[in-house]
Copies of this chain bind each other. A is one copy, B any other.
Amino acid sequence: MDLEARRVVRIGIPRGEAYPMGPGKAALLEAIEQTGSISAAARGLNLSYRKAWTLVDTMNRHFREPLVSATTGGAQGGGAVVTEAGREALRQYRELERKAWAAIEGETHAFLKLLRPNDLQDY
């Protein structure tokens, strides 16, 4: 899905008041996968370390298995890896997004025709 599609379809997995998974957490998982570090992932997404840590904590508390495994301390500071459970959750989440978008892509373009023509130019 391109960025515009992700602006149209936002999937959240709600649990009580929390969202154990959603667009921000999925992006964070991908960034951790790429950087091997919560702090580097946070910087790349313009999140504070504290915010990124809270998102990871919410995921790890709600899923059966932790999605992110973090090691603290050591000479190089802590590292973090996305677990096998994390990769699977991310895969299933992206699939939900993809299927929802596939189901409405055509109708979304039809909906856009209700907007003013000058607005249509930048789509």
Taken together, the copies of this chain in the complex come to 2
Is B95 within 8 A of A99, CB to CB? Answer: no
Is A102 within 8 A of B99, CB to CB? Answer: no
**Is A104 positioned at the interface, with any CB of B under 8 Å from its CB?**
yes
The residue from B11, B14, B85 contacting A114, defined by CB atoms under 8 A apart: B85
Is A114 within 8 A of B12, CB to CB? Answer: no
Is A63 within 8 A of B7, CB to CB? Answer: no
Q: In the assembled complex, how far is the CB of residue A109 from the closest CB belonging to chain B, in whole angstroms? A: 11
Name the interface residues of A1-50: CB closer than 8 Å to any CB of B.
4, 7-16, 20-21
A residues near B (Cβ < 8 Å) are 4, 7-16, 20-21, 62-64, 85, 88-89, 92-93, 95-96, 99-104, 107-108, 110-112, 114-117, 119, 122-123
